[in-house]
Amino acid sequence: ISGKISRSIGIISKSSFYLSRKSLFKLYYSLVYPYLYYGNIVWGSTYESNLARLIVLQKTVIRIITKSSFDAHTAPIFYYFNLLNLSNIYKLQAGIFMFSVHNKVLAAMFQSMFHQNSHVHSYLTRQANHYKIPYCRTNIMKFSIAYQGPKFWNSLPPTLKANSSLKTFKAKLKRHLITL
C-alpha cells in the first residue's frame, strides 16, 4: 500500500505547482484516501510500528496539499480541514460497523459475535447496555474487530449512539473524532 501511496504523492507533489488546493484535495481523495480507507477495519488495528509508514505518508501528502513546511505539526491541519488521520479512519469504520451491529443490520453471523451485558446477566447495572468485551489471551485477538469494536462503541457518548440513521451517525462520529 505504501508504494502505491508514494507514487500518488509524487503526482500530487508535481501538480501542486499548477493546481489549486481544492483540486489537490480532490486528487488526495481519489489517489490516496481509498488506499487508507479500503479494508482499514481489518488491518487498521495493529501495532503502531506496522502503520508508521502509512501515517508518515498521509502527513506528507497533507503538508504538500496545504503547502506547509516539511516539519509542520499536522494535528491543526487535520482539524482545520476536517480530515481524518489513519487511526481516526479506523475508528470511523469500527463505529459504523458497531452501529450496524447495534441496529441489527448485519448478517446473523456478525450479530452472534456481540452481546450486550444485559444478555449476559439479568441484574441492572450502569453498563447494562454496553457490549461485553471478550477475554483475549493474545494480542492478535485484541487487534480484531470482535474486541476493538465493543471497546470503541462503549467509549462513545450516549448521545452519539442514539442516532436513528447511519448517515447522521457517520457525520456526528466524524465530527466527534476530528475534535478529539
**Helices 86-102 and 48-66, axial angle in degrees (round to 10):** 110
pLDDT at residue number 92? 95
Distance CA 92, CA 41 (A): 9
| Res 104 pLDDT > 90 | no
Is the pLDDT reported for residue 118 higher than 80? no
Q: Answer whether residue 120 shows pLDDT above 80.
A: no
- Give the predicted TM-score (pTM) of the model: 0.89
Q: How far apart are CA 97 and CA 55, in angstroms?
A: 23
Q: Which of 15-19, 28-32, 161-165 shows the lowest mean pLDDT across its residues?
A: 161-165
Percent of the chain past pLDDT 90, that is, above it, reads 67
State the pLDDT at residue 52.
94
Query: Could you read off the pLDDT of 54-88 as tens digits, one per residue?
Result: 999 999 999 999 999 999 999 999 999 999 999 99
